[in-house]
Amino acid sequence: MLQKVQKLFEASLKKDNIAFEVLEKGSPLVAKTTDAVLLQLFLNLFDNSIYWLKSKTGGKRQIEVVLDGDEGKLTFADNGPGVNADDAPYIFEPFYSGRGEDGRGLGLYIARQLLERHDYSIELADTKREKVLPGANFVVSFVQEEA
Amino acid sequence: MMPDPTLFHGIAVVIDDEIHDPKASIQEIQKAIADAGCHIVPLSGIPNEASVSNLREVAFFVLDWNLYGAALKEIAAGGSVSVPSGMEEANEESIVKFLRDLKKVRFAPVFVFTDEPVADVIDKLKKHSDLYDETDPSHILVMAKGEVSQAGLFAVLTKWMDGAPSVYVLKTWERAYERAKNQLFLDFYVKSTLWPMIVWKNFKDDSMPPAALLGDLIGRNLTSRMTTFACDLEPFTELLEGVEKNRDAYKDIVRRVLEGERFLAAERLGKDSFEPGDIFETDDAYWINIRPDCDCIPKGSDKLDKLDLYLLKGAARPFADLKYDSEYGLIPEQDNEAIVFPVHDGKALCFKFRKLYMQKYKDLKDRRIGRLLPPFLTRLQQRYSAYLQRPGLSRLPSVAFPSPAPELTSLAIETVAAVVAEPEATQTAASSVPETPAQNPPATEAPQA
């Protein structure tokens, strides 16, 4: 799935000189949901990272995805400017966008809504241990929360 | 106009992400193209930059606007997704880039047949005025796929061409050109498969640059085979009626078109050659090269940069100073000048014959603004030749005429006034132009590059 979505963004990744890498840790990561939900999640994460990486001047531009089957987690990270501390509490709110007129403010909101329907979650990595790259790091947990 | 689908015959490139989906609406369009006898090159995405140059011979293009829909549909496996704005923008960027790259190598009709709202696609194209001019018919047609299927592809194309005379002329001319090109190479091939070597050797034996002259030979022979151009633009005349009403806009269009007829801007000229008609602009003047074309090519160990331009000096003539002979539709000129209009953004340039200047090409090559084309250049050169050979006549004393002397026509006044106003200059000019084509001017009079 991730590879298929990467292919959709291949032209943008190439044009903006962004390296993309996937790291797999432990056993294969299993997510019990529909393809459409995962597709929407990845579309929004790729779109978000590419947008912010474009503003990065100097140095290598990277997106790295870590699939940790043992912990049931996926970390989608980039080395762009990262999420502003003032914006962090609101980025999953509807119509909240740090992109100004370029953004609709729905991408991350939709991603969270879809995941929550399956009792999954998406959060900003807030500890150094969770962070893969210095920019924005989103941690998606595919471990269903106990009711 | 009667539909003539054969004008679109040839190779059609169809770019659609659903090209391999047997149920997609593009299949019906593909079938119509194939049924008309065209050969289809199906592509599921925008070709990469390197391969765009392979599209030189394509008759027309059919392009889908949304080139990610099929992939999303396949990945979503029946579900639906909301497309992020960045993805839409990337899709638009890649299409616009393709259209721009394509225009550089192949100017041909592009039919954007889409399932997206047509007005949205047109709005996106309008942002790029070099591709889609809102006020002028474009070589790009945007239409809903369903509408194309309903009306029939070639009916749509023919109807569209009714409003696009430039495309009609292009397709008609291409047909005549392809025929002439084929005839030319076949004719020479039949004479001898070694024909290029025969003429190449001939040019080399004359110490002439063989590649340039071979190109000239092909060009001349091609033109000779294309003399009858069957093209009828009468059905399009009503297109002008609306445009003519806006006097200023119409004047601007007329000037631009006339300029295209006689003046080739510098960006279309290679720096590795110069020709008669090349016009250069320096801080204080314009200069036109009138050296014969065979002398504008380096021979033997000559270097292009070191070749001399033979230049006439000119200046922009303000419109207020221009006269217009409405009977013949021309600008009256004095015997010692040629006025070319409109060139270089609608200017009228007046070149004086009094003195010929020599300057190395290397000193002016970065100042070239374009080239005056035949027959406008031929006329200027011929007028200059006539000026060089003009005989000196003694004046007719007014006392020889009955009183009062007969009135002169305005055209005659122009000519006579020039001679009367500049008797000394005219004399000087005659003596300053050497028998050999040119001599070095004083340093202060040379073009300052």
> Residues B129-160: pLDDT tens digits?
888 876 666 788 899 988 888 888 888 888 88
Which of B75, B82, B86 has the CB atom closest to A5's CB atom? B75
Question: Which pLDDT score, from 0 to 100, does residue B137 have?
Answer: 65
Kindly state the tokens that stand for B218. Answer: 């092909």
Domain-located, residue A142 = no
Q: Which amino acid is at B254?
A: V
Domain-located, residue B439 = yes
- Mean pLDDT for B323-339 is 93
Does B84 contact A1 at a Cβ distance shorter than 8 Å? no
Q: Which residue of A has its CA nearest to B78?
A: A36
**Partner residues linked to B14 by β-bridges:** B42, B62
Q: Which residue of B has its CA nearest to A3?
A: B75
The nearest CA of chain A is from the CA of B67 a distance in Å of 10
Which residues make Cβ contacts (< 8 Å) with residue B296, sequence separation at least 6? B273, B274, B275, B276, B289, B307
Does A8 contact B87 at a Cβ distance shorter than 8 Å? yes
Question: Which pLDDT score, from 0 to 100, does residue B172 have?
Answer: 87
Question: Which pLDDT score, from 0 to 100, does residue B443 have?
Answer: 38
**Domain span including residue B158:** 5-162
Q: Does B135 touch chain A (CB under 8 A)?
A: no
Regarding whether B188 and B152 lie in a shared domain, the answer is: no
Domain-located, residue A144 = no
Which of B77, B81, B93 has the CB atom closest to A43's CB atom? B81
Domain-located, residue A135 = no
Q: In A, which residues are within 8 Å of B72 by CB distance?
A: 8, 39
Regarding whether B114 and B205 lie in a shared domain, the answer is: no
Q: Does B82 touch chain A (CB under 8 A)?
A: yes
Final residue in a domain of this structure, among B192, B221, B236 = B236
Which of B77, B78, B87 has the CB atom closest to A43's CB atom? B87
**Domain span including residue A69:** 2-7+27-128
Q: The CATH number of the domain where A95 resides is what?
A: 3.30.565.10
Does B76 contact A4 at a Cβ distance shorter than 8 Å? no
Query: Into how many domains does chain B fold?
Result: 3
Domain-located, residue B337 = yes
Q: Does B97 touch chain A (CB under 8 A)?
A: no
Domain-located, residue B118 = yes
Does B86 contact A12 at a Cβ distance shorter than 8 Å? yes
- Mean pLDDT for B163-192 is 90
- Mean pLDDT for B295-322 is 91
Does A8 contact B71 at a Cβ distance shorter than 8 Å? yes
Final residue in a domain of this structure, among B236, B255, B276 = B236
- Mean pLDDT for B183-210 is 92
Q: In B, which residues are within 8 Å of A41 by CB distance?
A: none
Domain-located, residue B347 = yes
DSSP state of B325: B
Which residues make Cβ contacts (< 8 Å) with residue A63, sequence separation at least 6? A13, A18, A19, A20, A21, A46, A49, A50, A53, A76, A77, A78, A133
- Mean pLDDT for B281-302 is 91
Question: Which pLDDT score, from 0 to 100, does residue B415 have?
Answer: 42
The nearest CA of chain B is from the CA of A79 a distance in Å of 18
Q: In A, which residues are within 8 Å of B79 by CB distance?
A: 34-37, 39
Domain-located, residue B84 = yes
Regarding whether B387 and B269 lie in a shared domain, the answer is: yes
pLDDT higher at B132 or B406: B132
The nearest CA of chain A is from the CA of B71 a distance in Å of 8
Does B87 contact A40 at a Cβ distance shorter than 8 Å? no
pLDDT higher at B23 or B431: B23
Domain-located, residue A99 = yes
Q: The CATH number of the domain where B13 resides is what?
A: 3.40.50.2300
Query: Into how many domains does chain A fold?
Result: 1
DSSP state of B444: G
pLDDT band at B186 (very low <50, low <70, confident <90, very high): very high
Tell me the torsion sign for CA atoms A23, B70, B88, B75. negative
Domain-located, residue B31 = yes
Regarding whether B304 and B429 lie in a shared domain, the answer is: yes
Q: Does A4 touch chain B (CB under 8 A)?
A: yes
Reply yes or no on whether the pLDDT at A125 is more than 60.
Answer: yes
Regarding whether B419 and B274 lie in a shared domain, the answer is: yes
Q: Which residue of A has its CA nearest to B79?
A: A36
Regarding whether B433 and B334 lie in a shared domain, the answer is: yes
- Mean pLDDT for B289-297 is 91
Domain-located, residue A61 = yes
Q: Does B90 touch chain A (CB under 8 A)?
A: yes
Kindly state the tokens that stand for A68. Answer: 């940790």
Q: Does A51 touch chain B (CB under 8 A)?
A: yes
Question: Which pLDDT score, from 0 to 100, does residue B299 have?
Answer: 78
Q: Does B72 touch chain A (CB under 8 A)?
A: yes
Domain-located, residue A14 = no
Does A36 contact B76 at a Cβ distance shorter than 8 Å? yes
- Mean pLDDT for B431-437 is 39
Regarding whether B337 and B285 lie in a shared domain, the answer is: yes
**Sequence-separated contacts (24+) of B436-443 with Cβ below 8 Å:** B437/B291, B437/B310, B437/B356, B438/B308, B438/B310, B438/B356, B438/B357, B438/B358, B439/B356, B439/B358, B440/B358, B441/B355, B441/B357, B441/B358
- Mean pLDDT for B91-105 is 92
Regarding whether B209 and B151 lie in a shared domain, the answer is: no
Domain-located, residue A17 = no
Express as a percent the part of chain A with pLDDT over 90: 29
* Alpha-helical segments (H) within B36-117: 69-76, 85-105
Regarding whether B223 and B105 lie in a shared domain, the answer is: no
Does B68 contact A36 at a Cβ distance shorter than 8 Å? no
CA distance B138 to B130: 10
Q: Which residue of A has its CA nearest to B80?
A: A36
Regarding whether B93 and B10 lie in a shared domain, the answer is: yes
State the ipTM, two decimals: 0.79
Q: Are A65 and A75 contacting, i.e. CB atoms less than 8 angstroms apart?
A: yes
Nearest Cα neighbor of B58 from B24, B11, B19 is B11
- Mean pLDDT for B273-278 is 94
**Pairing status of strand A137-141 against strand B347-360:** unpaired
- Mean pLDDT for B199-219 is 89
Nearest Cα neighbor of B7 from B153, B180, B168 is B168
Regarding whether B188 and B154 lie in a shared domain, the answer is: no
Average pLDDT over all residues of chain B: 85
Domain-located, residue A12 = no
Does A104 contact B85 at a Cβ distance shorter than 8 Å? yes
Q: Which amino acid is at B23?
A: K
pLDDT digits (tens, 9 = 90+) for A78-115: 998 888 877 777 778 777 666 665 556 677 888 888 88
Express as a percent the part of chain B with pLDDT over 90: 47
**Which one of A7, A33, A37, A43 would you mutate to disrupt binding with B, by most B Cβ within 10 Å of its Cβ?**
A43
Q: Which residue of B has its CA nearest to A48?
A: B86
Lowest mean pLDDT among B99-103, B124-128, B405-409: B405-409
Final residue in a domain of this structure, among B236, B252, B278 = B236
pLDDT band at A1 (very low <50, low <70, confident <90, very high): confident
